[in-house]
């Protein structure tokens, strides 16, 4: 099970009295990572705090609120949500600013970065952090593995609430939409029944 593989990579950072921040955008990867953290905390009876940080760009705040509300209801938890980062900075600098700011509020920041599929046109650069404060447990996964993890966890309805579009409207044309469509196609070809929202 993919949850067992993920557990090995994130559990060491979720000790008692720790505060973990999951950077959420409302996209598939960060949403499944947040749900997995909540699941593993309950499974192991940990006393760590799990919060969400959202960078103010596009509709990320709206999409994040939607998936966090679903997770809260499904797992019967309350999650502190924060908007972090300077909205007046250029988009590519906002995440860097938010990561720096997060040092004041959490012990570790979890990011849902995945590796780009090799059979798509070159996508955005997703550098790997060298700091143990910033954890990227999906970094060597492609998006189809994250999708499979969500399906294995029974999160089909939650997956349908996520959005990956760079244009905030499921355009089907941007690179992020192409990557999402690719992931759903790979999962279907592997014999899994994917969730309905491939876009």
Residue 92 has pLDDT above 80, yes or no: no
Higher pLDDT, 169 or 15: 15
Q: Looking at residues 108-132, what average pLDDT do you find?
A: 92
pLDDT given for residue 157 in this prediction = 94
Q: CA 32, CA 26: separation in Å to the nearest integer?
A: 10
- pLDDT-derived band at 197, boundaries 50, 70, 90: low
| 116 in Cβ contact with 143 (< 8 Å) | no
List of residues 6+ apart from 99 with CB closer than 8 A: 109, 134
- Using CA atoms, how far residue 51 sits from 9, 61, 80, in Å, is 19, 14, 5
pLDDT given for residue 18 in this prediction = 92
For the chain, strand residue ranges (E) read: 19-23, 49-54, 81-83, 108-110, 134-135
Q: CA 129, CA 148: separation in Å to the nearest integer?
A: 25
pLDDT given for residue 199 in this prediction = 63
pLDDT digits (tens, 9 = 90+) for 81-90: 999 988 889 8
Overall fold of domain 2-162: Rossmann fold (3.40.50)
pLDDT digits (tens, 9 = 90+) for 122-179: 888 888 999 989 999 999 999 999 999 999 999 999 999 999 998 877 888 999 999 9
pLDDT given for residue 196 in this prediction = 66
Domain boundaries along the sequence of the chain = 2-162
pLDDT digits (tens, 9 = 90+) for 17-62: 899 999 999 999 999 999 999 999 999 999 999 999 999 888 889 9
| 97 in Cβ contact with 86 (< 8 Å) | yes
pLDDT given for residue 176 in this prediction = 94
Q: In what helix (H) or strand (E) does residue 56 lie, and over which residues does it extend?
A: none
Higher pLDDT, 195 or 119: 119
Token pair 């929202």 is found at: 197
| 146 in Cβ contact with 136 (< 8 Å) | no
């Amino acid at each position: 099970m993919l949850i067992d593989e993920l557990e090995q990579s994130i559990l060491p950072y979720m000790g008692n009295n720790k505060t973990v921040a999951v950077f959420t955008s409302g996209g598939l990867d960060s949403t499944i990572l947040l749900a997995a953290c909540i699941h593993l905390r309950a499974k192991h009876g940990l006393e760590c705090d799990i919060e969400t940080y959202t960078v103010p760009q596009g509709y990320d705040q709206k999409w994040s609120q939607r998936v966090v509300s679903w997770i809260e209801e499904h797992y019967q938890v309350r999650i502190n949500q924060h908007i972090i980062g300077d909205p007046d900075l250029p988009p590519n600098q906002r995440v860097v600013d938010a990561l720096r700011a997060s040092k004041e509020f959490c012990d570790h920041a979890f990011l849902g970065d995945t590796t780009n599929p090799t059979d798509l046109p070159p996508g955005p650069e997703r550098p790997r952090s060298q700091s143990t404060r910033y954890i990227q447990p999906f970094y060597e996964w492609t998006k189809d593995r994250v999708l499979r993890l969500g399906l294995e966890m029974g999160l089909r309805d939650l997956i349908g609430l996520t959005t990956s579009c760079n244009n905030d409207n499921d355009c089907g044309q941007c690179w992020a939409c192409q990557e999402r469509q690719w992931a759903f196609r790979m999962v279907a070809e592997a014999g899994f029944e994917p969730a309905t929202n491939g876009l």
